[in-house]
Amino acid sequence: MNENLRKVSLIFLRKEDEILLAMKKRGFGEGFLNGIGGKQDPGETIEQTAVRECQEEIDVTPKKLGKVAVINFFFPEKPEHDQQCHVYFCEEWDGEPKETDEMRPDWVKLSEIPYEKMWNDDIIWLPKVLSGEKIEADFTFDKDDEIVDYKVQSMTIE
Protein backbone atom coordinates (compact mmCIF):
# COMPACT_ATOMS: atom_id res chain seq x y z
CA MET A 1 0.00 0.00 0.00
CA ASN A 2 1.16 3.51 -0.78
CA GLU A 3 1.21 5.42 2.51
CA ASN A 4 1.97 8.78 0.84
CA LEU A 5 -1.32 9.05 -1.03
CA ARG A 6 -4.25 11.09 0.28
CA LYS A 7 -6.65 8.66 1.96
CA VAL A 8 -10.32 8.53 1.02
CA SER A 9 -13.19 6.24 1.94
CA LEU A 10 -15.95 4.70 -0.15
CA ILE A 11 -19.00 2.88 1.26
CA PHE A 12 -21.53 0.82 -0.63
CA LEU A 13 -24.70 0.11 1.36
CA ARG A 14 -26.14 -3.32 0.51
CA LYS A 15 -29.47 -5.01 1.14
CA GLU A 16 -30.63 -8.32 -0.31
CA ASP A 17 -30.02 -8.07 -4.08
CA GLU A 18 -29.49 -4.29 -4.17
CA ILE A 19 -26.67 -1.81 -3.75
CA LEU A 20 -26.94 1.91 -3.04
CA LEU A 21 -25.32 4.09 -5.68
CA ALA A 22 -25.40 7.87 -5.60
CA MET A 23 -25.01 10.51 -8.29
CA LYS A 24 -22.21 12.91 -7.34
CA LYS A 25 -23.66 16.40 -7.74
CA ARG A 26 -20.51 18.51 -7.27
CA GLY A 27 -16.75 18.35 -6.83
CA PHE A 28 -14.42 15.48 -7.75
CA GLY A 29 -16.38 12.79 -9.59
CA GLU A 30 -19.32 15.09 -10.41
CA GLY A 31 -21.78 13.41 -12.77
CA PHE A 32 -20.71 9.86 -11.92
CA LEU A 33 -22.60 7.25 -9.93
CA ASN A 34 -20.56 5.88 -7.05
CA GLY A 35 -20.67 4.74 -3.46
CA ILE A 36 -20.58 7.29 -0.64
CA GLY A 37 -17.29 8.68 0.58
CA GLY A 38 -14.65 11.35 0.69
CA LYS A 39 -11.38 12.64 2.05
CA GLN A 40 -9.95 11.74 5.45
CA ASP A 41 -9.74 14.67 7.89
CA PRO A 42 -6.72 15.11 10.17
CA GLY A 43 -7.00 12.96 13.29
CA GLU A 44 -9.60 10.57 11.82
CA THR A 45 -9.17 6.89 11.17
CA ILE A 46 -10.26 5.90 7.67
CA GLU A 47 -13.27 4.11 9.20
CA GLN A 48 -14.28 7.34 10.98
CA THR A 49 -13.98 9.12 7.63
CA ALA A 50 -16.29 6.57 6.03
CA VAL A 51 -18.95 7.00 8.73
CA ARG A 52 -18.74 10.83 8.72
CA GLU A 53 -18.94 11.06 4.93
CA CYS A 54 -21.99 8.76 4.88
CA GLN A 55 -23.68 10.94 7.51
CA GLU A 56 -22.87 14.14 5.60
CA GLU A 57 -23.66 12.90 2.10
CA ILE A 58 -26.84 10.80 2.55
CA ASP A 59 -27.85 11.26 6.23
CA VAL A 60 -27.14 7.61 7.15
CA THR A 61 -24.95 6.30 9.99
CA PRO A 62 -23.23 3.00 9.14
CA LYS A 63 -23.17 0.55 12.06
CA LYS A 64 -20.79 -2.13 10.79
CA LEU A 65 -18.25 -1.78 8.00
CA GLY A 66 -16.54 -4.59 6.11
CA LYS A 67 -13.43 -3.57 4.15
CA VAL A 68 -13.41 -5.14 0.69
CA ALA A 69 -10.72 -3.22 -1.21
CA VAL A 70 -7.82 -0.80 -1.10
CA ILE A 71 -7.39 0.95 -4.44
CA ASN A 72 -4.64 3.38 -5.40
CA PHE A 73 -5.64 5.89 -8.06
CA PHE A 74 -2.95 7.77 -9.96
CA PHE A 75 -3.45 10.77 -12.24
CA PRO A 76 0.06 11.67 -13.53
CA GLU A 77 -1.27 14.77 -15.30
CA LYS A 78 -3.40 15.79 -12.29
CA PRO A 79 -1.41 14.62 -9.23
CA GLU A 80 -3.75 16.52 -6.89
CA HIS A 81 -6.30 13.76 -7.66
CA ASP A 82 -3.98 10.90 -6.61
CA GLN A 83 -5.57 8.97 -3.76
CA GLN A 84 -5.77 5.71 -1.87
CA CYS A 85 -9.39 4.59 -1.56
CA HIS A 86 -10.50 2.26 1.24
CA VAL A 87 -13.70 0.54 0.08
CA TYR A 88 -16.31 -0.85 2.48
CA PHE A 89 -19.58 -2.72 2.25
CA CYS A 90 -22.20 -1.99 4.89
CA GLU A 91 -25.37 -3.96 5.55
CA GLU A 92 -26.42 -2.32 8.84
CA TRP A 93 -27.07 1.40 9.31
CA ASP A 94 -29.32 3.91 11.02
CA GLY A 95 -31.47 6.26 8.97
CA GLU A 96 -32.81 6.26 5.42
CA PRO A 97 -30.67 7.50 2.53
CA LYS A 98 -31.63 11.06 1.59
CA GLU A 99 -30.57 13.38 -1.21
CA THR A 100 -28.26 16.21 -0.17
CA ASP A 101 -26.42 19.01 -1.96
CA GLU A 102 -23.61 16.50 -2.57
CA MET A 103 -25.28 13.21 -3.57
CA ARG A 104 -28.54 11.78 -4.98
CA PRO A 105 -28.79 8.15 -3.73
CA ASP A 106 -30.73 5.37 -5.44
CA TRP A 107 -31.06 1.62 -4.84
CA VAL A 108 -29.99 -0.48 -7.83
CA LYS A 109 -30.37 -4.23 -8.39
CA LEU A 110 -26.98 -5.97 -8.38
CA SER A 111 -27.86 -7.46 -11.78
CA GLU A 112 -28.55 -3.98 -13.22
CA ILE A 113 -25.58 -1.88 -12.06
CA PRO A 114 -25.22 0.92 -14.66
CA TYR A 115 -21.44 0.76 -15.09
CA GLU A 116 -21.67 3.13 -18.05
CA LYS A 117 -22.62 5.91 -15.58
CA MET A 118 -19.73 5.13 -13.22
CA TRP A 119 -15.95 5.64 -13.28
CA ASN A 120 -14.57 3.31 -15.96
CA ASP A 121 -12.48 1.39 -13.40
CA ASP A 122 -15.58 0.24 -11.49
CA ILE A 123 -16.52 -2.41 -14.04
CA ILE A 124 -13.08 -3.99 -13.51
CA TRP A 125 -12.96 -4.23 -9.71
CA LEU A 126 -16.53 -3.87 -8.35
CA PRO A 127 -17.81 -7.25 -9.71
CA LYS A 128 -14.86 -8.93 -7.99
CA VAL A 129 -15.71 -7.54 -4.54
CA LEU A 130 -19.42 -8.10 -5.08
CA SER A 131 -18.62 -11.79 -5.64
CA GLY A 132 -16.81 -11.92 -2.27
CA GLU A 133 -13.19 -11.33 -3.31
CA LYS A 134 -11.11 -8.82 -1.35
CA ILE A 135 -8.73 -6.89 -3.58
CA GLU A 136 -5.88 -4.43 -3.76
CA ALA A 137 -5.59 -2.48 -7.01
CA ASP A 138 -3.72 0.30 -8.79
CA PHE A 139 -5.29 2.33 -11.58
CA THR A 140 -3.53 5.00 -13.63
CA PHE A 141 -5.56 7.51 -15.65
CA ASP A 142 -4.68 9.90 -18.45
CA LYS A 143 -5.63 13.58 -18.68
CA ASP A 144 -9.12 12.59 -19.92
CA ASP A 145 -9.68 10.21 -16.96
CA GLU A 146 -9.30 7.14 -19.19
CA ILE A 147 -7.45 4.11 -17.78
CA VAL A 148 -3.94 3.70 -19.18
CA ASP A 149 -2.74 0.97 -16.81
CA TYR A 150 -4.09 -1.15 -13.97
CA LYS A 151 -3.32 -4.08 -11.70
CA VAL A 152 -5.86 -5.92 -9.52
CA GLN A 153 -4.87 -8.66 -7.10
CA SER A 154 -6.58 -10.61 -4.34
CA MET A 155 -5.49 -9.81 -0.84
CA THR A 156 -6.24 -10.49 2.78
CA ILE A 157 -7.72 -7.37 4.33
CA GLU A 158 -7.82 -7.06 8.11
Given this model, what pLDDT does residue 27 score? 80
Residue 107 bridge partners (DSSP): 20
Residue 88 bridge partners (DSSP): 11, 67
Global model pTM greater than 0.95: no
Given this model, what pLDDT does residue 156 score? 73
SS3 109: strand
d(CA 74, CA 81): 7
Show pLDDT as tens, one digit a residue, over the chain (158 residues). Answer: 556 789 999 999 999 999 999 999 888 778 899 999 999 999 999 999 999 999 999 999 999 999 999 999 999 998 988 999 999 999 999 999 999 998 999 999 999 999 999 999 999 999 999 999 999 999 999 999 899 999 999 987 66
Given this model, what pLDDT does residue 3 score? 62
- CATH architecture label of 6-154: Alpha-Beta Complex (3.90)
Given this model, what pLDDT does residue 2 score? 57
Q: Are the CB atoms for 32 and 46 separated by under 8 Å?
A: no
Q: What are phi and psi of 6, to 5 degrees?
A: -60, 135
Given this model, what pLDDT does residue 29 score? 78
Domain ranges of the chain: 6-154
